[in-house]
Amino acid sequence: MGIPTPHKLPPGPSPESWTASFQNYSRDPLSYMPQLVRDYGDIVTMRYYNFRVYFVSHPDFIEQVLVTHNRKFIKGRILRKNRRLFGDGLLTSEGDFWLRQRRLAQPAFHRGRVTSYADTMVRYADRLVAEWKDGDERDIHAEMMRLTLQIVAKTLFDADVDREARRVGQALEAIMELNSDFRKLMLTPTWLPTPRNIRATIATRRLNKIVYRFIEERRASRKDTGDLLSMLLAARDDDGSRMTDQQMRDEAITIFLAGHETTANALSWTWMLLSQNPAVEAKLHAELDSVLGGRTPSLDDLPNLRYTGHVITESMRLYPPAWGMARLAIEDVEIGGYPIPKGCGVSLAQWVVHRDPRWFDAPEEFRPERWDGDLMKRLPRFAYFPFGGGPRQCIGNNFAVMEAGLLLATIAQRFRIRLIAGHPVVPMPSITLRPRYGIRGRIEARVGFRSVVSGSASAVAD
């Protein structure tokens, strides 16, 4: 297949530096991508071997990709390389098949349904902090992963995964490691038995085992609990046929993984930012104390926990758990005034746009207050898009926002976390943005915090 040569090319590095550029991009995309925008502007092109990519960083152009011309694109090559993991699940499937599956899963994510998960979320967070003691040192990221994993398993699959949490964590690490070096990922076929590929294959098998257990147990129980798993099991095609086991597995594993890793990352980065910004942390505590007064939070408290919400919004601005997205053009299309031929890639990075000084003052600073007024309304639609946009927007958006708010409120009310000096906290841009070496933190019970347990007030720390 020939390489498409567009008539009018946007700026970009010169052909002599393409190899070096690709290496820089693969090695450190978080530094390299903002630099591309600074050097060349809102739409930049480059060729990697026989593949032309366009980096699109203006909110209006992003809207053209995700909304206006969304039918002219499919998901990018990195996600497609992960098909052995996600199969034909919601994240990776396309066209009519995707639409049918999306409609099937949607009821589990309607606002009314999602709010019914709030108590479970708080209960699990309570259970986690009951294990924490003042002065403990823990990997906070591992703790957040365990918590959000338990929550997604319970709410959407009515399953307990307490025993498997560590194995799921290890499996995800292997998969994210495989996806953290784009160069190797693009150049090495997934069937080649490299150590990384072998680790990812073993990881996928482990996850399969867990998800097949959910499916078999539910089938055997013959119960319809009305959750996502029951909806998938009950689904029928027009001709009355059911989803195959493989399809059930693909949908279940997609939501199982997409539904916990991202939210865990959002919370992990939030703990890091709070530890680094004591003034913000103090304001958060003041709000929690005044709204909750030591009570366990519930769904009804969320509208009053405005600053808590802004803390999460701001944390996902600086450390978007989905830090970048990719698309492949399946038709010729025009974006930002430039023709993009069929077969080319488009890369959109939340990491870059969320830190653009044109949309955010002092963009590198963690300032939840910036969301106080009507900033969200004033911003161009795609200047802040942690959940993507258009028809492929995150299905778990409301679930995640509610969960992050409730978990932050439940935990921060009782504890603060202090980063352990000397432990490197390094963002690893894989499919998601996760801390490469975890986040080690010391847990400190909040002074004077009083909890109301079974109706009686008791001091837990002073």
147 touching ligand HEM, by CB under 6 A: no
Provide the CB-side half-sphere exposure for 231 (13 A, CA): 19
Query: Rule CB under 6 A: is residue 275 a binding residue for ligand HEM?
Result: no
Q: Which is nearer to ligand HEM, 325 or 408 (CB)?
A: 325
Q: Does 129 bind ligand HEM (CB under 6 A)?
A: no
Query: Which residues face 340 on adjacent strands?
Result: 333
Beta bridge partners of 415: 445
Distances (CA, A) of 346 to 85, 178, 182: 23, 21, 15
Residues of this chain, 68-127, that bind ligand HEM according to CB under 6 A = 75, 90-91, 102
Calpha distance 246→385 (Å, rounded): 32
Q: Which of residues 21 and 64 has its CB atom nearest to ligand HEM in the complex?
A: 64
Give the binding range for ligand HEM (CB under 6 A) out of 48-56, 254-262, 282-290, 376-384. 254-262
DSSP code, position 236: B
Comparison of 395 and 411: residue with beta carbon closer to ligand HEM: 395
Regarding 262 and contact with ligand HEM (CB under 6 A), the answer is: yes
User: Which C-beta is closer to ligand HEM: that of 353 or that of 445?
Assistant: 353
User: Cβ-closest residue to ligand HEM?
Assistant: 396
CB 156 within 8 A of CB 437: no
The answer to the question of residue 258 lying near ligand HEM (CB under 6 A) is yes
The reply to whether 321 sits near ligand HEM by the rule CB under 6 A is: yes
204: contact with ligand HEM by CB under 6 A: no
What does the DSSP assignment read for 337-387?
A: TEEE-TT-EEEE-HHHHTT-TTTSSSTTS--GGGGSSSHHHHS-TTSS-TT
326 close to 75: Cβ distance less than 8 angstroms: yes
Distances (CA, A) of 412 to 158, 208, 312, 373, 448: 27, 34, 12, 24, 13
Instruction: Establish if 400 lies at the interface with ligand HEM (CB under 6 A).
Output: yes
Binding mask 358-397 for ligand HEM (x = CB under 6 A): ----------------------------xxx---x-xxx-
**Contacting residues toward ligand HEM, per CB under 6 A:** 75, 90-91, 102, 152, 254-255, 258-259, 262-263, 266, 321-322, 325, 386-388, 392, 394-396, 399-400
